[in-house]
Amino acid sequence: MNEALSNRISRRSDQTTDMYDRAVRAGLTGHTITRRSGKTVTLDDGSACVEFVSCSYLGLEDHPRLVHAARTALERYGTHFSSSRNSVEPVEVRQLEELLGEIYPGMHGLVFNSVSSVHLGLLPLLGAGVLPGYPMGPGGPLFVVERTAHASMQALRGVLEQVGPVTRFRVEEPDSLTAALEQARAERRTPVLLVDGIGSMGGLIDVAALWEAASAYGGYVYIDDAHGISISGRKGAGYAFEQLGGHLPPGVLLVGSLSKAFGGSGGFVLTHDAADVTVLRREANPMVFGHSNMLTHVAINAESARMHVDGTVAGLQDELWANVELFDKVHGGDRLVNAGQRSPIRGLAMETEEAAFEAAVRMREAGVLCFPVFYPVVARGTGLLRFALSSKHTREQIESTAEHLGSA
């Protein structure tokens, strides 16, 4: 391994405290559940808690149509067809990819087993300039990674460096982006911006502005909108698609999750050119060398896509946003990370790890599970309680979080 990279990793490990282990020992995270009903989970000690942890923002996980799809798949295929993705696929994968073309008109969808697999499969091929729809300049790519881009992209730095250099920028410091874009121009490289849509721990990225900046330099914007899919936009196309004006500009690649609000499992990418899908199916590492998605999930994904197209999901979006608004209201708005933002994620940022730990203890004692996070998920020395809102939370469940959190 590249020495600088290995040092970065060992440095991060050295700087990580034992807070996560302490939180597990205290029963604040690392839970084992034995049952679920709505947003109430039963833990293995028999206690029942209300959870604000699951990223299934539209509560589709026990929707009768999805449960029925899984049962039908079991009867039709058994549990699994263990082959590489580009060798044998159940018809539901093709149905899903076609339905993605209805949710995102004119686009070509390709489904992977996870969002991380999309990144791993696509980004090296994009950088190598072998995707016909996304040609590279004579100097190759310059990967320009936003500081808060999800760890699944940041972790690929060493992989990306096999095809081009990697640099970073911060959205809140426009000069850092300009410097990276100028570097690309000077080196006759094509800048490839890697960003989130809705940030997993907070923030909404202005992807339209980034596209405007990148396109002036002949660049591309690769958006991981894992958290934004389904929760807004026509037919649940999601945050980034909506922010871009209800279409994908030619230099934008949009990646989505099927495992969060979508209610199934996996990840997908949308490209403009069917020829890109052909290359990815043939050459993307996880397509060739990875196993197929579990059949139940494949069938659930296809049925959920139908629920996006037929308008079922739009009704659930309204319930989600009403709950998000209520959460802001009962917490007094301003003190929350993402307050007032069109994101289903809320956070309570704490100046110290200890403060976050104590607040999580209070929530746990009140029978509320949230997600306490520490470095390296948030800045060193700080802590955050992360709350994921769902259309399924009841008014009482939301009000109780404010009651027990008090002035933490």
Binding positions for ligand PLP, rule: CB under 6 A: 114-116, 150, 152, 196, 200, 224, 226-227, 257, 259, 267
Instruction: Indicate the residue among 121 and 137 with the shorter CB distance to ligand PLP.
Output: 121
At its nearest, how many Å lie between ligand PLP and the CB of residue 97?
17
Nearest Cα neighbor of 220 from 118, 150, 133 is 133
Q: Would you say 326 and 402 are in contact if contact means Cβ atoms under 8 Å apart?
A: no
Largest CA distance in the chain: 62
Q: Would you say 157 and 123 are in contact if contact means Cβ atoms under 8 Å apart?
A: no
Instruction: Indicate the residue among 190 and 257 with the shorter CB distance to ligand PLP.
Output: 257
Instruction: Indicate the residue among 309 and 377 with the shorter CB distance to ligand PLP.
Output: 377
Residue 320 has φ and ψ, to the nearest 5°, of -60, -50
At its nearest, how many Å lie between ligand PLP and the CB of residue 102?
22
Instruction: Indicate the residue among 196 and 353 with the shorter CB distance to ligand PLP.
Output: 196
Instruction: Indicate the residue among 190 and 293 with the shorter CB distance to ligand PLP.
Output: 293
3-state secondary structure the chain: CCHHHHHHHHHHHHHCCCHHHHHHHCCCCCCCEEEEECCEEEECCCCEEEECCCCCCCCHHHCHHHHHHHHHHHHHHCCCCCCECCCCCCHHHHHHHHHHHHHCCCCEEEEECCHHHHHHHHHHHHHHCCCCCCCCCCCCEEEEEECCCCHHHHCCHHHHCCCCCEEEECCCCHHHHHHHHHHHHHCCCEEEEEEECECCCCCECCHHHHHHHHHCCCCEEEEECCCCCCCCCHHHCCHHHHHCCCCCCCCEEEEEECCCCCCCCCEEEEECCHHHHHHHHHHCHHHHHCECCCHHHHHHHHHHHHHHHCCHHHHHHHHHHHHHHHHHHHCCCCCCECCCCCCCEEEEEECCHHHHHHHHHHHHHCCEECEEEECCCCCCCCEEEEEECCCCCCHHHHHHHHHHHCCC
Instruction: Indicate the residue among 114 and 317 with the shorter CB distance to ligand PLP.
Output: 114
At its nearest, how many Å lie between ligand PLP and the CB of residue 71?
24
Instruction: Indicate the residue among 127 and 264 with the shorter CB distance to ligand PLP.
Output: 264
At its nearest, how many Å lie between ligand PLP and the CB of residue 168?
17
Instruction: Indicate the residue among 197 and 251 with the shorter CB distance to ligand PLP.
Output: 197
At its nearest, how many Å lie between ligand PLP and the CB of residue 195?
10
At its nearest, how many Å lie between ligand PLP and the CB of residue 153?
7
> How far is the C-alpha of 387 from the C-alpha of 140, rounded, in Å?
41
Instruction: Indicate the residue among 48 and 151 with the shorter CB distance to ligand PLP.
Output: 151
At its nearest, how many Å lie between ligand PLP and the CB of residue 260?
7
At its nearest, how many Å lie between ligand PLP and the CB of residue 334?
25
C-alpha distances (whole Å) from 259 to each of 264, 268, 294 are 5, 10, 13
At its nearest, how many Å lie between ligand PLP and the CB of residue 346?
15
At its nearest, how many Å lie between ligand PLP and the CB of residue 178?
25
Q: Would you say 261 and 237 are in contact if contact means Cβ atoms under 8 Å apart?
A: no
Instruction: Indicate the residue among 136 and 252 with the shorter CB distance to ligand PLP.
Output: 252
